[in-house]
Structure 1
Amino acid sequence: MNTATTREQLLNHAQILIRQRGYNGFSYRDLAEHVGVKTASIHYYFPTKEDLLLEVVSDYAARVSANINAIDETLSAKEQLDRYAQLFSNAPSDQICLCGTLAADLASLSERSRQTLQAFYRVHEAWLAKVMARAQADGTLKTSGDCESDGRWLFAAFQGGLMSSRLFQNASRLNDVMASVQVERPVGQPDAQSAAA
């Protein structure tokens, strides 16, 4: 039995449709059919498609941020990044990051929507920059020495990895992102975390 409210169902299904088809790839009629309501009901909750979009992004960003903030900051940089990557690898194979999908539709979005997406990107880039700063200290990941830059390219790499994973139906493409920052150690030499244990 579905206990979600109509509003929650609309947000959930809109998110799925955007992640599968993009912002311009669905209408209120499509959404009404998925939820089993009339389009007038959608307009009651979200008078315009932009109102719906802003709520969808806000809801998605809050849930993703909660998952990121739940990653233990006392873990090594490598372990933190492994847990972060797991969030991406657990996504449905027919969908990519909501905000990554929307960034591709940028020309059709309002300035307010663009700013909301930029805020989402900045949260991830800043979190990854902190992880890379920790990596400079614990030596468990390769860094460039510029943590902010590392955070930006790493998030861009994850977004690209998600898109190519979907295109090729091969989730292992995300592993390439992780491999790009792994510290190569001679055979038999423990990593910094194992040595400290």
Structure 2
Amino acid sequence: MNDTRSEILRLGEEFIRTKGYNAFSYADIAEVIKIRKATIHYYFPTKADLGTEIIKNTIQNFHNAVNNWKQYPYEIQLKHWILLYADSRKKNWVCITGALSPVFDTLPTKMQVQLQILVNDIFNWLEEVLSNGKEAGVFHFNEPPQLKAHIIQSLLLASLLLDKVVAKDIYEEMKSHILGI
């Protein structure tokens, strides 16, 4: 992949996860990378194209990660998922779903579609891990696996958002709670 294109994607994702999709422009990216806005438009004609590609990359990275984790026991797969959020926390970022979900109605349709795919893929994978882990006697929870997946994902997403507001490590509290299942 072209280095300039990769850097535009990297910085676009960083801006989404720190400032929000609606709070940055191509001018912001151009200023940081020291390129002309026209260069960004060459790779991504519209901001929606950039946002869509960022979400598609996130989907691909998610699938690569969970495929690599299949070799591990269910509790380790869950732990790996939770620790991805620790990486975001260290950077003072929110997850891509946490950054884009609140502004879902303002996103271009093609971004909405990709975000829905990402969220559904996450829920489906998490539900499968929880269901299989519960059947194997590894996890102990009373809720249906689908509901438990929604609860866990909501806790992780919300913990990063709330950490930014209260400057307290809510993520660590949620991580401990989730790992206690």
The answer to whether TM tops 0.5 is yes
Alignment-derived partner of residue 188 in structure 1: none
Q: Is the 8 A contact 1:96 1:163 kept in 2?
A: yes
Q: How big is each residue's C-alpha offset from its partner over 1:61-85, in whole Å with a ceiling of 9 and x where there is no partner?
A: 212331222113441x322211211
TM-score, normalised to structure 1's length?
0.82
Say which one has the larger Rg. Answer: 1
Q: How does 1:9-28 map to 2 (within 5 A)?
A: 9-28=7-26
Corresponding position: 1:43 with 2:41: yes
Q: Within 2, Cα distance between the matches of 1:70 and 1:114?
A: 27
Q: Is the 8 A contact 1:141 1:181 kept in 2?
A: no
Q: Identical aligned pairs, as a percentage?
A: 23
Larger RCO: 1 or 2 (CA < 8 Å, sep 6+): 2
- Shift of the 155–121 alpha-carbon distance from structure 1 to 2, 3 Å rule, reads same
Which structure: greater helix fraction? Answer: 2
Query: Which of residues 73, 80, 84 in structure 1 aligns to 2:81?
Result: 84
Query: RMSD of aligned C-alpha atoms?
Result: 2.1
Alignment-derived partner of residue 118 in structure 2: 120
TM-score, normalised to structure 2's length?
0.88
Q: Within 2, Cα distance between the matches of 1:4 and 1:43?
A: 14
5+ residue gaps in structure 1?
184-197
- Shift of the 175–25 alpha-carbon distance from structure 1 to 2, 3 Å rule, reads same
Alignment-derived partner of residue 92 in structure 2: 94
Q: Within 1, Cα distance between the matches of 2:7 and 2:15?
A: 12
